Amino acid sequence: MVLLTTVTACAGAGAPAPAPVPAPGVEARELSVPFDRYNLSAADISILDNAEDLLVRDCMRGRGMAWQTLPPAVESDLDPPNRRRYGVVEPEIARLYGYHVAPDRPSVARRAAARESRAARLSDKERQAVYDEAGGCLRQARDRIEQGAPQVDAELFNKLISQTFGQSQRDAKVVQVFQDWSACMRAEGLRYADPLAAISDQRWLGGGPPTPEEIRAAQADVRCKVKTGLVSVWSAAEKRIQDDVVRAHPEEFEALKAAKDRQLESARGIIAGAR
Q: What digits encode the pLDDT tens for the residues 23-58?
A: 999 999 999 999 999 999 999 999 999 999 999 999
Q: What digits encode the pLDDT tens for the residues 176-224?
A: 999 999 999 999 999 999 999 999 999 998 888 999 999 999 999 999 9
Q: What digits encode the pLDDT tens for the residues 99-138?
A: 999 999 999 999 999 999 999 999 999 999 999 998 999 9
Cβ 75 vs Cβ 46: under 8 Å: yes
- What is the structure's pLDDT at 31? 97
What single-letter DSSP state applies at residue 78?
S
Q: Give φ, ψ of 85 to 5 degrees.
A: -60, -40
- What is the structure's pLDDT at 2? 44
What single-letter DSSP state applies at residue 23?
P
- What is the structure's pLDDT at 231? 98
Contacts of residue 202, defined as CB under 8 A and 6 or more positions apart, other chains included, come to none
- What is the structure's pLDDT at 18? 60
Q: What digits encode the pLDDT tens for the residues 135-170?
A: 999 999 999 999 999 999 999 999 999 999 999 999
Q: What digits encode the pLDDT tens for the residues 223-254?
A: 999 999 999 999 999 999 999 999 999 999 99
Q: Return the SS3 of 236.
A: helix
- What is the structure's pLDDT at 274? 85
Q: Return the SS3 of 17.
A: coil
Q: Give the confidence band of 14 by pLDDT, cuts at 50, 70, 90.
A: very low
Question: What is the rounded CA–CA span in Å between residue 273 and residue 60?
Answer: 18
Range list of H helices, 76-153: 91-97, 106-121, 124-131, 137-146
- What is the structure's pLDDT at 10? 29
Question: What is the rounded CA–CA span in Å between residue 119 and residue 140?
Answer: 19
Average pLDDT taken over every residue of the chain: 92
Question: What is the rounded CA–CA span in Å between residue 18 and residue 10?
Answer: 8
Cβ 181 vs Cβ 228: under 8 Å: yes
- What is the structure's pLDDT at 8? 29
Max CA separation in the chain (angstroms)? 67
